Structure 1
């Protein structure tokens, strides 16, 4: 863990957390939750984060925020720190760390049994048609509210 910024392991770094049930179907031959399955758990945690902050751009949510585009993953990195096991739930802690003109970045921490198991860094572009476009003002304002108070920057 010494290669990571220690602030990333503090729960107060993240303004949002959601518990995700682990699934037996995701257990691998070694008896722990498969790393690829953990990537999907992060995706679920991000989606719930977006829903709770009102920035979800799925078709059924677009009218609320005047969105015509969607959030697309531009970059995703997961550092696995410890094994995860079934049946304990996984808590995904979420924070926005950068809001730019057409994109934003997030930090996530996964914990299980109150211990860190992995970190996820992601950058998302707001895309309409086939190109990145400016984040709509309502989405931008809500993302700024979801920023970590520890080191977030807005651009």
Structure 2
């Protein structure tokens, strides 16, 4: 992940989701553990793909995705019980895949960054071009400058 200052700015993300942390998310030092960060990013990605801005329009066939790559940079300690707000944006759109850029913020500080590459797929034939309607919705979620 390239160190891009705008990735640490909540205003760069056109969508966000606030999630509660759990007592079980802590490590032995009392900080959010690496699995907790992965869960928070996964939950945000899934919510936006199922019911958020990236979700299908009424009457449109639901797109299917497979996660091809996930990278997480841990920037600062996260703490329980403070909630975490995860910013969600699209960093890149290819012909059959796109990269979701996310950042976790707690008490105003960026504590982690995550990039996830999702491949659009047809259930019968595998990787497939991103449909025009989905591409349009993804374009609307681009990471802001």
TM over 0.5: same fold?
Answer: yes
Root-mean-square deviation over aligned CA pairs? 1.8
Task: State how far apart, in whole Å, the 2-side matches of 1:146 and 1:95 are.
Answer: 5
Offset of residue 110 of structure 1: 0.3
Offset of residue 101 of structure 1: 1.3
Correspondent of 1:110 among 91, 96, 104: 104
The residue number in structure 1 matching 2:35 is 36
Answer 1 or 2: which has greater helix percent: 1
Aligned positions of 1:6-155 closer than 5 A: 6-50=5-49, 51-55=51-55, 64-67=59-62, 69-129=63-123, 131-150=126-145
Task: State how far apart, in whole Å, the 2-side matches of 1:96 and 1:54 are.
Answer: 10
Work out whether residues 87 and 102 of structure 2, in 8 Å CA contact, stay in contact via their aligned partners in 1.
yes
Q: From the superposition, tell whether residues 140 and 23 of structure 1 become closer, same or farther in structure 2 (CA, over 3 Å).
A: same
Task: State how far apart, in whole Å, the 1-side matches of 2:30 and 2:52 are.
Answer: 33
Name stretches of at least 5 consecutive residues in structure 2 with no aligned partner. none
Task: State how far apart, in whole Å, the 2-side matches of 1:143 and 1:112 are.
Answer: 26
Name stretches of at least 5 consecutive residues in structure 1 with no aligned partner. 151-155
Instruction: Spell out, residue by residue over 1:72-105, the C-alpha distance to the aligned partner (whole angstroms, 9 max, x if none).
Output: 1111100001111110000100110111111111
Q: How many residue pairs are counted as aligned between the two chains?
A: 142
The normalised TM-score by structure 2 is 0.88
